[in-house]
Amino acid sequence: MTVCKAWYKWSCDKRLWSQIDVSRRSPLTNQALAGIVKRQPTSLDLSWTPLARRQLNCLLTRLPGLRELRVTGLPWSCLSALVSPTLPHLRLLDLRWCEGINDAQIKEIISPPGVGSTRSRLRNMVTLHLSGLDISESTLRLLQRHMPHLEKLDLAHCKNMSDSSVALLSAPGTHSQHNLSELTLSGCSELTDSCLFYLKRLSCLTLLDLRGCSGISRRACDAFISDLSNSALYCMMEEKLIQRLD
């Protein structure tokens, strides 16, 4: 199908394409990649779409204004393209249920590029989804060191998360203690009622998801809400889903 030049120009205006979703599609063609690059989105969803490393690298190097990237379910063989000095300054990264990612891979992605560099390419990160990944406290230390603006963290179904992990995130004087507003720990079976003592130290907490945490009791959640009632109003929206109301 052919269209006039004016229509083509308007249809490719990047103001119309700030968000592009090509999730759960068949493998992307070179023509599709070129179309994405031409439209220069700030938000791109590639979740569960078969993609080669060279294709992701092509997108990352040609989308300098990209701020949100969702790659849920993709394998490390593709996502190793994130280890690049030309990685855009992302504010949101979704790595949920990505295959083959553990502490070592997260370190490669987050660590500053090049010898002598101290600033991570992901230092502007605000929202990070790590659900289902085989990560430990070493990853949490990396987040504290290199993501000073992190506000929303998703650690759902990360089997190694424990009470000591929560204590680390809420340690006095850390960026995470002062900045974390939303924390998802649903399905973390190693957590116990004791973690709620540490969670009270998160000064900006607005949403806490503990659904599916079998080691945490409803009574402990009620006590958590009661203990914070002097400073803010919290409510149990669902079983073990706690939200700040004011």
Alpha-carbon distances of 13 from 8, 63, 245, rounded to whole Å: 9, 15, 40
pLDDT band at 1 (very low <50, low <70, confident <90, very high): low
Q: Which residues contact 173 (CB under 8 A, 6 or more apart)?
A: none
Per-residue pLDDT of 124-148, as tens digits, reads 999 999 999 999 999 999 999 999 9
pLDDT confidence band for 163 (50 / 70 / 90): very high
- Residue 214: phi and psi, rounded to 5, are -65, -25
**What is the pLDDT at residue 11?**
60
Average pLDDT score over the chain: 94
CB-side exposure of 99: number of CA atoms within 13 Å? Answer: 8
Residue 119 φ/ψ region, left for φ over 0, alpha for ψ in the -120 to 50 degree band, beta for the rest: beta
Q: What is the pLDDT of residues 93-123, one digit of tens each?
A: 999 999 999 999 999 999 998 767 788 999 9
Which among 198, 208, 200, 195 is positioned nearest to 242, based on CA atoms? 208
The amino acid that residue 123 corresponds to is R
For residues 190-210, give the mean pLDDT: 98
Confidence band, pLDDT 50/70/90 cuts, at residue 18 = very high
DSSP calls for 44-78: EE-TT----HHHHHHHHHH-TT--EEE-TT-BHHH
Collapse the DSSP code of 5 into the 3-class scheme (helix H, G, I; strand E, B; otherwise coil) and give the result. helix
Lowest mean pLDDT among 10-19, 56-65, 145-154, 156-165: 10-19
The predicted structure's pLDDT at residue 6: 61
- Looking at residue 60, its pLDDT comes to 97
Q: What is the pTM of this model?
A: 0.93
